[in-house]
Each structure stands twice: as C-alpha cells, then as structure tokens.
C-alpha cells in the first residue's frame, strides 16, 4: 500500500487530528482506513506511535 493511500494523523495540543493533506507539522501516525484507526485508538497504537498519551474525540474516527 502506498503512503498516499494511508490516512495520516498528528497531535495538535495532545488531541488526535486527521491530516488529509499530509502537511501538518510534527510526528505522524498512519492508518489504512477508519477500522484500522479505531483499532489503533482502542489498543493504544496511537499512544505508542506518538510516545505519549493521546486524546481521541469519540466521533473523530467515525468521520474519516
């Protein structure tokens, strides 16, 4: 799978934020689709990727 096909997420003030344009500054974490992103949030994958605690808005992952 090509990197451009993945959904990129970044942290903005400690909150997980989608980066559709892949241009926001900082470390990014990638997910293949909404289901992968939901599993990553549930299993702590985003926290591991960013090496810190991550706040995930409840409806964020359903809107991507």
Q: Which own/partner pairs from 9-17 qualify as long-range (CB within 8 Å, at least 24 positions apart)?
A: 9/37, 9/46, 11/50, 11/52, 11/54, 14/52, 14/53, 14/54, 14/55, 15/54, 15/55, 15/56, 15/57, 16/41, 16/46, 16/54, 16/55, 16/56, 16/57, 16/60
User: pTM to 2 decimals?
Assistant: 0.87
Give me the number of domains the chain comprises: 1
The pLDDT tens digits for 4-63 are: 899 999 999 989 999 999 999 999 999 999 899 999 999 999 999 999 999 988 788 777
In a domain, 18, yes or no: yes
In a domain, 11, yes or no: yes
In a domain, 63, yes or no: no
In a domain, 62, yes or no: no
């Amino acid at each position: 799978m090509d990197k451009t096909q993945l959904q990129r997420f970044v942290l903005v003030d400690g909150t997980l934020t989608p980066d559709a344009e892949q241009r926001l500054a900082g470390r990014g974490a990638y997910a293949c689709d909404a289901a992968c992103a939901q599993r990553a949030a549930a299993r702590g994958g985003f926290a591991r990727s960013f090496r810190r605690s991550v706040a995930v808005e409840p409806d964020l992952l359903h809107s991507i």
